[in-house]
Amino acid sequence: MSKKQTAEAMHSENRIGGDPVFGYRALPGIADEMLDTHGNVRPVWQHFLASIGRMDETELSNRFARADRYLRDAGVFYRAYGTKENSERSWPLSHVPVLIDDVEWQAVSKGLIQRAELLERMAADIYGPNRLVAEGFLPPSLVAGNPEFLRPMVGVLPADGHFLHFCSFEIGRGPDGNWWVLSDRTEAPSGAGFALENRVATTRAFSDLYAETHVRRLAGFFGAFRDELQSRKKHPDDRIAVLTPGVANETYFEHAYIARYLGFMLLEGEDLTVVDGRVMVRTVAGLKPVGVLWRRLDAAFADPLELNQSSHIGTPGIVEALRSGSVSIVNSLGSGILETRAFLAFMPTICRHLLGEDPVLPSIATWWCGQQPERDQVAGNIEKMVIGPAYSTRPFFDDNGRSVLGSSLRDTAKVSVAEWLQTDGPKLVGQEVVTLSTTPAWINGKLTPRPMSLRVYVARTRDGWQVMPGGFARIGSGADAAAIAMQAGGSAADVWIVSQKPVEHTTLLPAEESFIRIMPGSLPSRAADNLFWLGRYIERAEGALRILRAWHGRFAETANTEMPLLKDITDYLAVLDIDTKQPVPDSLMANLNSALFSASNIRDRFSADGWLALNDLAKTARKFQSTVQAGDDATHAMTVLLRKLAGFAGLVHENMYRFTGWRFLSIGRYLERGLHMTRLLGHMSGEDAPDGAYDMLLEIGDSVMTHRRRYNVNTAALTVTDLLALDPLNPRSILYQLNEIKTEVEQLPNAFSNGQMSPFYREAMKLHAGLAVMTPEAMSAEVYANLERELGRFSDILAQTYLG
């Protein structure tokens, strides 16, 4: 920091007392991140504060809007539990970052690394020789009665010898200015991806300040961890995957984000199977080995055979695979036990015993009430305590109200608290209530102190444990620390670790000399299934939209639903469960929702733009559902929806890499479009077709102009059939779809084996050839019905061959 800047900041601070930035005051008796105990701005904040002090309200809100827009466009969300409607919430960013001096951070890092090592040793003991219990350092009941203690994992040594690879910690600053560990997260720590997104969003708001300040970068941390996981593979052919509980999980977005960011597969338990003690992923090219699993799934759910028997999201046999040492899992199954709140009471002693040193960072003072002296201690100081469940794995301010403040028990007689501790003691812990530090948040147009805690990350790398230089700060929605939890309205801020010296700039792009072109890995069958169905649903929606638009166009002219053509189409649509009485039918909505669901299952393969376009389409359709009237209004609405749908299709077409996933999506679309046209022609092109049917067919098939140009006659059965069924150059004709399907199938894995066509490829050839030799005269209702059956069968064979 230059002298000039410092002077400027000091000068500004004394400038105006009621200024929205400089009127900031710390709360009495509480530490503050920006102000020291004398009320002076900490040096690390001075430049930042002076800079935003120069910005007027419009500029600041423009900057904040840039950050919010980034998060919106990137589709960053988390899922709130317990609410049915709109359960996807946009990420609540607190725009002002928390700035911490790198020198101070080094000291914190030292403590976190020591703690990660301690937890590793504890895990090795609990799932190994159990000396901590035998020698009296850890009460046996806290292990045996712990739901996180997974007995089948006892005696299973991890493939690479380590139980922990990726941990996170919740830390807070106490009134004396020192940092405390509030809780340990070792099971499947979440949020590292959100830390990245926070960073990107915040730098959108303060790109200039970020460039001027020596903020340490995050990419190096992720790169080192990625390299570590790569090095854990035993065979070069092994895959690395992020194992997610699925799209319904609170932080699924982050799983997909991390997988995409690091270039790992995103898999669910169902994608995996265990063969000869090896974990394999089902792909469209057969079973492929998985060497490393970064687990975001709670351990108990990983294996319904040996762990939680009611789990539907696990992989039977995975525990067996771990025993055989063929797969590394991050973190080991059962490591969640280290998060137990009551363990905090024993960790200082265990630290001295196992590591021979005092803890560098203290944990929040904790007493397990399973022992009399501790019970007395808690009961005697009840005013300063918070009482909570001993086995809880969450910090007290974020455990859904299961912890109670001792001071709230004031009205209860002291005896009854003592009695409560006596009866339920082993299930309870008392913790000293800590007052968390505050940090500035921009609230109602001014900087306001809000309580905060930091979520920080530690990863095992080739050079030992490494601490992410940053993380994210959880900011309370009110002055009360209990409101930090995001589910309770809290928000998150980026954390800038500011160095005196310029920082190293790393990106996760490889250096040029190490450039190799890697083809994308095998496509998991489930992802292929979702892509195939996404294609089908989208095309099904388009088919319905086109027919409905034509229907409403004619209805607008006649207002007579009994007109033969309209009646005929109404009956046709009724079979497809589409009700023309509803301007935007429920079944159309259902199709769009199914498309959205399929897409949400494969977020890691999707550009944010495609996702937003699809969401926008569904949202618009939902809005139309309650506003649009039959006739002209509906015609217009269908046109809008078709345009949005084309927008989505265009994004996919222009931007998606032409590999296996793309082929399944395309086959889905071609197949559905072929089915749509086959059904429609079968229904409408017979001799008893109502008046106007041919014109309508051409309109639905988007071929009015082409017909006029090519045939130079009025619409008639043969020309329409020729154009819509048999013309190989019309992108709406049936033959065109079959040709495209054939081309795509030829490129799929295992289309040929030993120079022979696979049975599936042969089916695709047969379908195409069968129609290619037809003449318009021969296209009878029976031929169409037959073709419809064949297409259905083709879909089944595809599923059996690739999606099972």
Binding stretches for another protein (CB under 8 A) = 130, 133-136, 139-141, 143-145, 151-152, 154, 274-276, 304-306, 308-309, 316-317, 320, 370
User: In the bound complex, what is the minimum distance in angstroms from residue 627's beta carbon to another protein?
Assistant: 44
Least distance in Å: CB of 317 to another protein? 5
Non-local CB neighbours of 212 within 8 Å, separated by 6+ positions: 47, 51
Is 287 or 704 the residue whose CB approaches another protein more closely? 287
Nearer to another protein, 276 or 562 (CB): 276
* β-sheet bridge partners, residue 325: none
Nearer to another protein, 308 or 625 (CB): 308
The nearer residue to another protein, 340 or 666, going by C-beta atoms, is: 340
Residue 283 Cβ vs another protein, minimum distance, rounded to whole Å: 17
Q: What whole-number distance in Å separates Cα of residue 682 and Cα of residue 701?
A: 14
Nearer to another protein, 334 or 776 (CB): 334
Report CA-CA distances (Å) from 18 to 447, 649, 778: 11, 54, 86
Closest to another protein by CB, 316 vs 770, is 316
CA dihedral 503, 508, 509, 510 (to 10 degrees): 90
Q: Which is nearer to another protein, 306 or 744 (CB)?
A: 306
Shortest approach of another protein to residue 234 CB, angstroms?
20
Compare residues 427 and 446 and give the one whose CB is closer to another protein: 427
Q: Tell me the closest approach of the beta carbon of residue 640 to another protein, in angstroms.
A: 43
Cβ–Cβ under 8 Å, residues 527 and 281 = no
Q: How far is the CB of 786 from another protein (least distance, A)?
A: 28
Q: Is 759 helix (H, G, I), strand (E, B) or coil?
A: helix
CA triple 480-486-492, angle to 5 deg: 90
Nearest CB to another protein, comparing residues 140 and 380 = 140
Phi, psi of 324 (to 5 degrees): -80, -5
Q: How far is the CB of 151 from another protein (least distance, A)?
A: 4
| Rounded least distance, CB 370 to another protein, Å | 8
Q: Tokens in use for 674?
A: 């072929």
Q: How far is the CB of 237 from another protein (least distance, A)?
A: 21
| Closer residue to another protein (CB): 77 or 137 | 137
Sign of the Cα pseudo-torsion (476, 345, 413, 422, in order): positive
Q: Which is nearer to another protein, 136 or 478 (CB)?
A: 136
Please, what is the minimum distance in Å from the beta carbon of residue 358 to another protein?
Answer: 25
Report the distance separating Cα 691 and Cα 102, nearest Å.
Answer: 80
Q: How far is CA 71 from CA 76, 189, 197, 259, in A?
A: 5, 22, 8, 18
Say if residues 111 and 360 touch (Cβ distance below 8 Å): yes
Q: What is the DSSP string of 346-415?
A: THHHHHHHHHSS--SSPBPPEEETTSHHHHHHHHHTGGGEEEEETT--S-GGGSTT--EEGGGGTTS-HH
Separation of alpha carbons 637 and 623, rounded Å: 10
Query: Reduced to 3 states, what is the DSSP secondary structure of residue 438?
Result: strand
**Closer by beta carbon to another protein, 75 or else 370:** 370
CB of 446 to another protein, least distance (A): 50
**Distance in Å, CB of 159 to another protein, minimum:** 17
CB 739 within 8 A of CB 730: no
- For the CB of residue 289, give the shortest distance to another protein in the complex, in Å: 16
Nearer to another protein, 308 or 593 (CB): 308
Encoding tokens for residue 157? 């040594």
Query: Shortest approach of another protein to residue 323 CB, angstroms?
Result: 8
> For residues 305 and 799, which CB has a smaller minimum distance to another protein in the complex?
305
Q: At what angle do helices 252-262 and 192-205 cross, to 10 degrees?
A: 80
Each as own residue / partner, the long-range contacts of residues 138-142 (CB below 8 Å, 24 or more positions apart, any chain) are 138/343, 138/346, 138/350, 139/346, 139/368, 139/370, 139/371, 141/370, 141/426, 142/340, 142/342, 142/343, 142/368, 142/370, 142/390, 142/391
Bridge-based pairing state of the strands 77-79 and 88-90: antiparallel
Beta bridge partners of 461: 464
Q: Note whether 437 and 33 are within 8 A (CB).
A: yes
Query: 381: Cβ–Cβ under 8 A, 6 or more apart, which residues?
Result: 406, 430, 432
Shortest Cβ distance from residue 123 to another protein (Å)?
A: 14
Radius of gyration of the chain (CA): 31
E strand or H helix at 480, and its extent?
A: none
Closer residue to another protein in complex, CB, 11/151: 151
CA dihedral 201, 208, 13, 94 (to 10 degrees): 0
Please say which residue, 268 or 727, places its beta carbon nearer to another protein. Answer: 268
How far, in Å, CA of 373 to CA of 377, rounded? 6
The minimum distance between CB 259 and another protein, in angstroms, equals 26
Name the residue with tokens 């095998």: 522
- Token code pair at residue 760: 């599936």
Cβ closest to another protein, residue 129 vs residue 731: 129
Least Å distance, CB 320 to another protein, is 6
Minimal distance, residue 605 CB to another protein, in Å: 26
Buried/exposed code over 440-457 (b: 16+ C-beta within 10 A; e: otherwise): bbbeeebbbbbbbbbbbb
Alpha-carbon distance values, 310 to 52, 250, 305 (Å): 54, 20, 9
Residue type, 373: P
Q: CB nearer to another protein: give 141 or 377.
A: 141
| 220/507 Cα distance (integer angstroms) | 7
